[in-house]
Amino acid sequence: MVQINLPQNSKIQKGEYYKDKTGSKNIRKVNIYRWDPSTKENPRIDTYEVDMDNCPSKVLDILNKIKNEIDPSLAYRRSCSHGVCGSCAMNMDGKNGLACTKSHSEIKGDINIYPLPHLKVLKDLIGDLSILYKQYESIEPWLKTSNIKEDKENIQSRPDRAKLDGLYECIMCACCSTSCPSYWWNGDKYLGPAVLLQAYRWIMDSRDQDRKERLKKVADELKLYRCHTIMNCTNACPKGLNPAKAIASIKKMLATG
Amino acid sequence: MKDNNPLSPHIQIYNWHISSLVSISHRITGVINIIAVILIFFWIASLFLGTDNYKVVFSFLNSYLGKFLMIGITWSFSFQILSEVRHWFWDMGYGFELKTSRISGLFVIFGSFLLSIVIYLFGRNIF
């Protein structure tokens, strides 16, 4: 259901202000969404003054700097810091992306950092993605074959392999799904761009023998056709993939048989 | 426990893109057009009720509010037509690249105003 306003317990309050203590002249204000599950308080926005003279180029570097030098209580997910693992997906400057690949020099003015939109917050910048993972499981993202001999290689031709380009690179960071208004309003039923891109990836795999069943399963008013080509997904993808096009391709396959 | 967890902000903080703006406008103009078509039927019906009834409608449509409404509806239809053409291309599988979709979105926005002006000038027999 469309619900524009945030629920009462999610309304954002003004938080604390951490003044710069280094005496640096190159200061940027960083506003970060905070919520502590151990208190009963509403979420708040804390503001940090960060010394940019001693800070590397990415937004994740700012977060690390704040956690190491200003406020160790800040919680966020991160791992590889090279745009491969998808852990540090968050909303920066009004757009979803990976903190480790987003340069802070691209952002004008104060830097606003929120968790991925429309998720249950676990702590600070960490959102609960368990529904998305369940949906991912529901499309059975593995190769399904019935009559392949186990002692022989299951070969794929080069052109067939090329069909998976632009699909297999997805790191499931959830930037696209959580940028999608349709997924905000119908996230419990609509599969969302990330999962549909993966559904398409397995439909397109020449080695898979379950293609018809896969198409039949995804052909659903809510699972698939809640996509209204808003294109926020493609705009958000930090890997430059095109979930909107993949969803359209599934629709086209279903329409043309 | 999960129910007590707050919901992260969404539409309040998310940037608008051309494609999302055109998408929501497509919906809004769609609703306006349905209402407009109903009003147009009432307008035609008023013809059958005789001159006096038609005069009321006629004078309303010639008032500033009436003219504003008619021009607004013209724009709404123009927008819907162009946006629908964009959707046809999408349904055929074309135009999903970010750059293309941005250009086609801008084309819909500016084109809708241009088309309204053209229709208006046609209506005034300027061509």
Q: Does residue A152 sit at the B interface (CB-CB below 8 Å)?
A: no
Q: Kindly tell me if the per-residue pLDDT of A217 is higher than 70.
A: yes
Query: For the residues B46-58, what does the mean pLDDT come to?
Result: 85
Q: Kindly tell me if the per-residue pLDDT of B52 is higher than 90.
A: no
pLDDT tens digits, B98-112: 999 999 999 999 999
Which residues from chain B sit within 8 angstroms of residue A6, using beta carbons? 6-7, 9, 12
Contact (Cβ atoms closer than 8 angstroms) between residue A16 and residue A7:
no
Q: Does residue A94 sit at the B interface (CB-CB below 8 Å)?
A: yes
More confident residue, A94 or A2: A94
Contact (Cβ atoms closer than 8 angstroms) between residue A248 and residue B87:
no
Local confidence band at B56 (pLDDT 50, 70, 90 cut-offs): confident
Query: For the residues A79-100, what does the mean pLDDT come to?
Result: 97
Which residues from chain A sit within 8 angstroms of residue B11, using beta carbons? 4, 117, 181, 184
Contact (Cβ atoms closer than 8 angstroms) between residue A154 and residue A204:
no
pTM score of the predicted model: 0.93
| Helix spans in chain A (H) | 59-65, 130-138, 158-162, 181-186, 192-203, 211-218, 232-236, 243-256
Q: Kindly tell me if the per-residue pLDDT of A22 is higher than 70.
A: yes
Secondary structure of residue A17 in the 3-state scheme: strand
CATH for A8-127, among 3.10.20.30, 3.40.50.150, 3.20.20.10, 3.40.50.300?
3.10.20.30
Query: For the residues A40-57, what does the mean pLDDT come to?
Result: 96
Q: Taking the CB of residue A216, how many other CB atoms lie within 10 A of it? A: 11
Closest-CA distance of chain B to residue A35, Å: 8
Q: Quickly tell me which residue has 């707050």 as its tokens.
A: B6
Count A/B contacts: CB-CB distance under 8 Å.
Answer: 109
> In degrees, to the nearest 5, what angle opens at C-alpha A77 toward C-alphas A75 and A80?
140
Q: Kindly tell me if the per-residue pLDDT of B55 is higher than 90.
A: no
Closest-CA distance of chain B to residue A249, Å: 7
**Rounded distance between C-alpha atoms, residue B100 and residue B104, angstroms:** 6
Query: For the residues A139-150, what does the mean pLDDT come to?
Result: 87
Closest-CA distance of chain B to residue A43, Å: 7
Q: Kindly tell me if the per-residue pLDDT of B1 is higher than 70.
A: no
Do the domains A8-127 and A130-256 sit in the same CATH topology, yes or no? Answer: no
Task: Return the minimum-mean-pLDDT range out of A74-88, A101-115, A239-253, B58-72.
Answer: B58-72
**Rounded distance between C-alpha atoms, residue B85 and residue B34, angstroms:** 18
Q: Quickly tell me which residue has 């379950």 as its tokens.
A: A210
Q: Kindly tell me if the per-residue pLDDT of A131 is higher than 80.
A: yes
Local confidence band at B2 (pLDDT 50, 70, 90 cut-offs): low
CB distance A114–B97 less than 8 Å?
no
pLDDT tens digits, A244-256: 999 999 999 999 9
Closest-CA distance of chain B to residue A252, Å: 7
**Rounded distance between C-alpha atoms, residue B64 and residue B48, angstroms:** 25
Residue ranges per domain, chain A?
8-127, 130-256
CB distance A229–B2 less than 8 Å?
no
Q: Determine the pLDDT at residue B50.
A: 85
**Rounded distance between C-alpha atoms, residue B83 and residue B77, angstroms:** 10
Full set of structural domains in chain B with CATH: 2-123 (1.20.1300.10)
Residues of B with CB under 8 A from a CB of A: 2, 4-15, 17, 19-20, 23-24, 27, 87, 90-93, 96-98, 101
Local confidence band at B57 (pLDDT 50, 70, 90 cut-offs): confident
Cβ density class A24-59: b for 16+ within 10 Å, e for less: eeebbebebbbbeeeeeeebebbebbbbbeebeebb
Q: Quickly tell me which residue has 């890997």 as its tokens.
A: A239
CB distance B98–A245 less than 8 Å?
no
> DSSP string of A195-216?
HHHHHHHHHS-TT-S-HHHHHH
Rg (CA), chain A: 21
Query: For the residues A45-49, what does the mean pLDDT come to?
Result: 97
- The arrangement of secondary structure in A130-256, i.e. its CATH architecture, is Orthogonal Bundle (1.10)
CB distance B5–A115 less than 8 Å?
no
Query: For the residues B39-52, what does the mean pLDDT come to?
Result: 87
CB distance B101–A118 less than 8 Å?
no
Which residues from chain B sit within 8 angstroms of residue A122, using beta carbons? 5
Local confidence band at A146 (pLDDT 50, 70, 90 cut-offs): confident
Contact (Cβ atoms closer than 8 angstroms) between residue A63 and residue A34:
no
Q: For A39, how many CA atoms within 13 A lie in the half-sphere containing its CB?
A: 9
Contact (Cβ atoms closer than 8 angstroms) between residue A113 and residue A90:
yes
The percent of residues above 70 in pLDDT, for chain A, comes to 100
Element spanning B113, H or E = helix B98-123
Q: Kindly tell me if the per-residue pLDDT of A148 is higher than 80.
A: no
Q: Kindly tell me if the per-residue pLDDT of B44 is higher than 90.
A: no
pLDDT tens digits, A155-177: 899 999 999 999 999 999 999 99
